Structure 1
Amino acid sequence: MDLVRLRGVGKRYGAGPWVLEGVDLRVAANEVVAITGTNGSGKSTLLRILVGLSRPSAGEVLARPASVGYVPERFPAKERMTAIAYLRHMGRVRGLSTSESDAGAHALLDRLALVGGATTPLRALSKGNAQKVALAQALLPRPKLLVLDEPWSGLDVSAHGVLAELLAEVAGDGGAVVFTDHRESVVRATASAAYRIDGGRLGAWRDGGQVATVDLVAAAEREQVDWPGLPGVLRADHGVGSVMVVVEGKHCDELLVTAIRSGWSVAGVRRAAPSAGEVR
């Protein structure tokens, strides 16, 4: 079932040039969709149309769920109110009780590891920590459609994996996620389908690179390794005495050397082309 459907959507401001033209897009439940493109290509404009903040100049938005969470590219973090007061207010606006808003906000901020704590004023937060509050408000309560504009921007490394988990959870609960990012590695690791805006038109995202999945087993004596912090690592899934690391193909040999030197045994290496989807 399509949660989002755009048909022939175009956007222009006044008599200016078309920012978007003839955009057809369908996003189904359980999908995580990436939108790529250069700065000024119209990515943010498309997201604003998706969430209903901007009307198309041409074409139609045929489907959009009632529950939408949105993280804009620039979060207004100059407010005097504290992070928890802001999130409490946003939760109340969306129909939660005060206790439900507080519980949900604290759980999300703890999970994202907000530096300074929930009582820190928004204007005192760093860019990365303000981004964590922006993510929390979009997920409070959990939306059916989550739309994010460059959501990893400014986040510390420890929060990167948490964000990927949150996107997967929204999709896994029957929702859908649409995000923008210019990095191929993020698109490969996170998206189930990917598109590129070029000249105002939406088309399939193509990537000829390879990724490698490396299965590692811990020896009796081994060093702890920060797998997500290594070059090219897209994901690291830990098991009991083992770890599966997904890495960009060009960094696979480097990862293997680090693993062996740190006392890990290589159980297997699988190489494949990335699986980003195409326009349907």
Structure 2
Amino acid sequence: MSKIVFEAVNAEKVVEGFPILKNINLQIRAGEVIAIVGANGSGKNSLLNLIGAIYDQTSGVVNRYAKKIGYVPMNLPDSIEFKVEEYLSLVGRMSGRAIKTLVKDIHHYADIFKITPDLVSTLSSCSKCTKHKVCIIQVLLNNPKILLLDEPFSFIEKEFQFELFHQLLSIKGDKTIVFTVSEELVFDKHVDKIINVKNGEIVSIQETQLNH
């Protein structure tokens, strides 16, 4: 059995006197693909923030065993005028990457996510789907062990949602992938666990056929 990379025991998060997460009991193992499902305001994004150490628990126990956690927000700012490859090279160098391996990885991920022709385009001129893929690649360049994605399919045209999902699966390797998603869109046959969240609590954790 793969090792635990995150665990929470009776964790709670309180903001300005209001509990936004309650009674969180959860284990995440290396290599799992996990969907956190819930309606708007259910607490699914708050749970993602707890996993990613953006939130610290107010009470209870939380342990994070992965050394690198990468967080992908919903979108990039629209005003970035760098060309896509220039932008990715810049952020990669800022994190200490050597230029030779950095360029190789940029082109590798651009091929996987099918944005190679967009590398010479300015980021501001790209579609929302391409911008989101650039944001994912930006995080992957730091080689995180846990990849967290905040509503990665929300602003992508429906016909490209499954394409993006399968592209994410192709880079899984030894990474753990956790993403939030609305109740209307769940890739239940392709994830290891579905965590259903309501009113700041985990109401169920469903292990799919991948775990059997």
TM range (shorter): 0.7 to 0.9
Structure number with higher relative contact order (C-alpha < 8 Å, ≥ 6 residues apart):
2
* Structure 2 counterparts to residues 160-179 of structure 1, below 5 A: 160-161=162-163, 163-170=165-172, 173-179=173-179
Specify the SS of the correspondent of 1:34: strand
Contact 1:115 1:129 in 2 (8 A): no
- Which residue of structure 2 aligns with residue 13 of structure 1? 15
Task: Output the CA distance in 1 between the equivalents of 2:170 and 2:33.
Answer: 7
**Structure 2-normalised TM-score?**
0.84
Specify the SS of the correspondent of 1:118: helix
> Which runs of 5 or more structure 2 residues have no equivalent in the other structure?
none
Task: Output the CA distance in 2 between the equivalents of 1:159 and 1:110.
Answer: 17
- Which residue of structure 2 aligns with residue 196 of structure 1? 196
Amino acid in the other structure paired with 2:85:
I
* Structure 2 counterparts to residues 223-242 of structure 1, below 5 A: none
Task: Output the CA distance in 2 between the equivalents of 1:187 and 1:205.
Answer: 15
Q: 1:206, CA displacement in angstroms?
A: 5.9
Task: Output the CA distance in 2 between the equivalents of 1:9 and 1:119.
Answer: 46
Q: In the alignment, does 2:23 pair up with 1:89? A: no
Q: 1:162, CA displacement in angstroms?
A: 5.0
Amino acid in the other structure paired with 2:177:
V
Q: In the alignment, does 2:209 pair up with 1:275? A: yes
Identity in percent: 26
Q: 1:32, CA displacement in angstroms?
A: 0.8
Q: Mark the CA change 1:138 to 1:154 in structure 2 (over 3 Å): closer, same or farther.
A: same
Quick check: which has more Rg, 1 or 2? 1
Task: Output the CA distance in 2 between the equivalents of 1:58 and 1:77.
Answer: 38
Specify the SS of the correspondent of 2:25: strand
- Which residue of structure 2 aligns with residue 117 of structure 1? 118
Amino acid in the other structure paired with 1:8:
N
Deviations 1:106-135 (A, max 9, x none): 221232222852132222222111111011
Amino acid in the other structure paired with 1:203:
V
- Which residue of structure 2 aligns with residue 146 of structure 1? 147
- Which residue of structure 2 aligns with residue 41 of structure 1? 42
* Structure 2 counterparts to residues 200-215 of structure 1, below 5 A: 200-205=200-205
Specify the SS of the correspondent of 2:136: helix
Deviations 1:138-185 (A, max 9, x none): 221432111111222334535733532433542xx3321111112566
**Structure 1-normalised TM-score?**
0.66
Q: Mark the CA change 1:187 to 1:158 in structure 2 (over 3 Å): closer, same or farther.
A: closer
Amino acid in the other structure paired with 1:150:
E
Q: In the alignment, does 2:79 pair up with 1:78? A: yes
> Which runs of 5 or more structure 1 residues have no equivalent in the other structure?
208-273
Contact 1:23 1:202 in 2 (8 A): yes
Q: 1:28, CA displacement in angstroms?
A: 0.6
RMSD across aligned positions (CA): 2.5
Contact 1:10 1:21 in 2 (8 A): yes
Task: Output the CA distance in 1 between the equivalents of 2:78 and 2:59.
Answer: 33
Give the aligned length.
Answer: 208
Q: 1:9, CA displacement in angstroms?
A: 2.1
Contact 1:128 1:153 in 2 (8 A): no
Task: Output the CA distance in 2 between the equivalents of 1:165 and 1:128.
Answer: 13
Q: Mark the CA change 1:187 to 1:203 in structure 2 (over 3 Å): closer, same or farther.
A: farther
